[in-house]
Structure 1
């Protein structure tokens, strides 16, 4: 294996043999709870039903893993796909961005599927998740693959393969093959997140989790993969240029899972501060005629949420939750931003279209200079009576420098999960997750949500 693969593999083997520090373990449990909240909150959406239906075609396959909230199992790789799709569907899952960026909790779908399939302990699942996050976020810190046209599954599949491989008990050689088997076929195009966004925007990370679990199982069965997938001729570095996939945690430094951003609103991470600003101004502008909306943002917000025509007239929920003009309009009009804000009826509202036409989004170099340490937005709304209303958010609540604590994450879980699984099951699951490192078999924890599918709930778009 090449040197980069060897560094990733050796880090994973050391992580499997050790125990993450307390701050990383607690951060991991918050991310796990947050991820299950996002998945159960999306359970009744049409795309979640499609993903479960696809996974159910493989019901009873071995090695088996559960689809979260269901009383049946499917193949481990298809469980990763279905769970990963639900996890990402509301765009409420965590985020991490330095040079590149994405949603590192995508790796949780692979890690939990592998832990479930192998009957791993809670402690083993935590160690694998922390390592998978470190690998994922390490790439985000090391190189800007996004501006080269590559999407986050490129590094998501590597982090997921590391986590799944740890739990499937792969040795050094097998783990190296798993990395090659995962990465070589999984170079994903950023076109997934441009123009009118499709269902695949919510499935791309889940597919990386599926591919990673499949790759780890192939390696366990004796399949070999490209042995120089990074540094060899026509390897990744021939496409991207050489970069150092650095892993400071391997040298005893802080784990990156402690610095991920959690979300309060079901929309792009770059729009979280704008959403808070809109809700802050809502009481002042409610019932008044809005003349203009000015959003001063950092450059990445404009690029991701306001630089294409589709973001100024979103036709799908996937596009709307990545449209800053839409997010500001619905927040100022409704005084809330949640899953219902992205229903077809809201997208078609002419009043929101009118507000978007009154909106201007401008990059403020001073705000750009504060990113990614913070995620600022300044919102100025002028009303017909001549009043000017301003709200500036330095960082959205949930950003790493304004984090959600364990109580806030638990409240998010209850809000999203209780309508689907009921109060007693939600409370039991939260209790079990708080002491997850003591669980001898993670399947007992997952079983607490097993009857979720039988409960009635209103369909959500």
Structure 2
């Protein structure tokens, strides 16, 4: 008898687990990620692309099936997943798995929440589906990670692994919530592989298309699973087949053991990094290093030069072209700028040290910040490169106008297992994101529902709380 395909192994894992078999650490992690993601969706309403996606979804019409955070009346489930996925990823504040460099929650959780509402699913069923979907997403991403090169093969090909692998994980979550058997989960993977996409060039040279990626992945996930339950099917060899997922995306270079090793007993979910800052994860250690120099007493007004040492693979995202990274035109471009990250950390801000209000178009073009950014060089650092991509280190050196040398190194990212965010810090992040759009009472209710998500008989109870913002609370950010 032939060995089961990799897709079959994932499908069997999905249906053979249940809420009752999930480790407590996984359940706790999922609850926290749902709350974190809802806060991100609320905060993202300040962006013009958020208004654009909501306008697009409303124009489509259709049956009321699931809610968009801040979107008003319910819309078709796949469109709710689309909008929430866009919102979740738009501030670059969503969680990250290392070393795959995936953002698993932004595509998977919106797909799961939309499917859960459509299916009338309980909190327990939703937690189970999210946990499995996140795990599938991470394992696919790790199968495409090259330990020798220390980088994602997806990324080397210009592909956004988050949206590609996230669509697959989201489809598994949606299939579970729709009550599909193992064969249906496998078919959902087979269907979604033909719908997964994402090109990462916008990280380098601009454009807001990356904000669409996780939404499109979530939309594909819900659509694929919904079509499977109506009779569509996919190839059983969707992953390792001659013309399958790994051949198409990775040119056949992948590690199948990352799919199967410890499947069902070893969970990646609790180790996914929460983001403390709303910017590309490669910039976070730079922010922390700059905060460290500020705490040492460095006066930004007396800075003569700054040298940011980072891993070699990071430079092309946050340091090239250096002229552009020193002069971002928008808050979005600033999120991918090493020089801006240093300046933001030196000047300080909101949230957990630097917050969403520190990444605006106005601040990106602020003359003081431009003057400081012009003094920042982004260079390769051998020690940082050796640690990457298990962490995204930064070593920041500064010289002031008196000739004094300053230095701060950050070798482990805040928000990961080595430097976890506390429950209080995650709550602060949520409340900072919700401020101005959710009242204190509503924010408390949302946090309470998320903390007791497994006790909800219908996930719609949580989504209805954030479907509309209170009149007069929007702060215009």
Q: Distance in 1 between matches of 2:234 and 2:404?
A: 64
1:136-155 counterparts in 2 under 5 A? 136-143=137-144, 144=152, 145-152=154-161, 153-155=163-165
Shift of 1:211: 0.8
Counterpart in 2 of 1:169? Answer: 179
Conserved 8 A contact 1:279-1:335: no
Instruction: Please give the TM-score of this superposition, normalised by the length of structure 1.
Output: 0.93
Q: Deviations over 1:337-369 (max 9, x none)?
A: 322322222122233223222211222222222
Compared CA separation, residues 223 and 335, structure 1 to 2 (3 A) = closer
Pick the aligned partner of 2:278 from 236, 260, 266.
266
Shift of 1:3: 0.8
Conserved 8 A contact 2:99-2:391: no
Compared CA separation, residues 458 and 15, structure 1 to 2 (3 A) = same
- What 5-or-longer segments of structure 2 have no aligned partner? 145-151
Q: Which moved more, 1:391-400 or 1:418-427?
A: 391-400
Conserved 8 A contact 2:81-2:219: yes
Q: Which moved more, 1:436-445 or 1:394-403?
A: 394-403
Counterpart in 2 of 1:184? Answer: 194
Shift of 1:307: 2.8
Q: Which moved more, 1:313-322 or 1:87-96?
A: 313-322
Q: Distance in 1 between matches of 2:449 and 2:264?
A: 31
- What 5-or-longer segments of structure 1 have no aligned partner? none
Q: Distance in 1 between matches of 2:311 and 2:345?
A: 20
Counterpart in 2 of 1:156? Answer: 166
2:251 aligned with 1:257: no
Q: Deviations over 1:134-186 (max 9, x none)?
A: 01111222213211222121111101101111101112222222112111132
Counterpart in 2 of 1:129? Answer: 130
Aligned length: 457
Conserved 8 A contact 1:96-1:104: no
Counterpart in 2 of 1:118? Answer: 119
Q: What RMSD over aligned residues (CA atoms) do the two structures have, in Å?
A: 2.1
Counterpart in 1 of 2:378? Answer: 361
Q: Deviations over 1:24-83 (max 9, x none)?
A: 000111111111111111123222122222222244515x10111343100101101111
Q: Distance in 1 between matches of 2:274 and 2:260?
A: 22
Conserved 8 A contact 1:104-1:137: no
2:308 aligned with 1:295: yes
Q: Which moved more, 1:315-324 or 1:111-120?
A: 315-324
Instruction: Please give the TM-score of this superposition, normalised by the length of structure 2.
Output: 0.90
Q: Distance in 1 between matches of 2:24 and 2:347?
A: 43
Conserved 8 A contact 1:270-1:300: no
2:459 aligned with 1:447: no
Q: Distance in 2 between matches of 1:194 and 1:367?
A: 21
Pick the aligned partner of 1:339 from 356, 373, 380.
356
1:405-420 counterparts in 2 under 5 A? 405-420=422-437
Q: Distance in 1 between matches of 2:101 and 2:287?
A: 23
Conserved 8 A contact 2:303-2:398: yes
Compared CA separation, residues 265 and 112, structure 1 to 2 (3 A) = same
Counterpart in 2 of 1:311? Answer: 325
Conserved 8 A contact 2:92-2:279: yes
Q: Deviations over 1:407-449 (max 9, x none)?
A: 2212211121132111001111111111111111111122222
Q: Distance in 2 between matches of 1:331 and 1:94?
A: 20
Compared CA separation, residues 257 and 430, structure 1 to 2 (3 A) = same
Q: Distance in 1 between matches of 2:41 and 2:31?
A: 15
Counterpart in 1 of 2:388? Answer: 371
Conserved 8 A contact 1:59-1:73: no
Q: Distance in 1 between matches of 2:101 and 2:89?
A: 18
Conserved 8 A contact 1:104-1:136: no
Compared CA separation, residues 115 and 270, structure 1 to 2 (3 A) = same
Counterpart in 2 of 1:11? Answer: 13
1:73-84 counterparts in 2 under 5 A? 73-84=74-85
Conserved 8 A contact 1:45-1:459: no
Conserved 8 A contact 2:98-2:390: no
Compared CA separation, residues 286 and 45, structure 1 to 2 (3 A) = same
2:205 aligned with 1:204: no
Shift of 1:238: 2.7
Conserved 8 A contact 2:85-2:107: yes
Shift of 1:124: 0.7
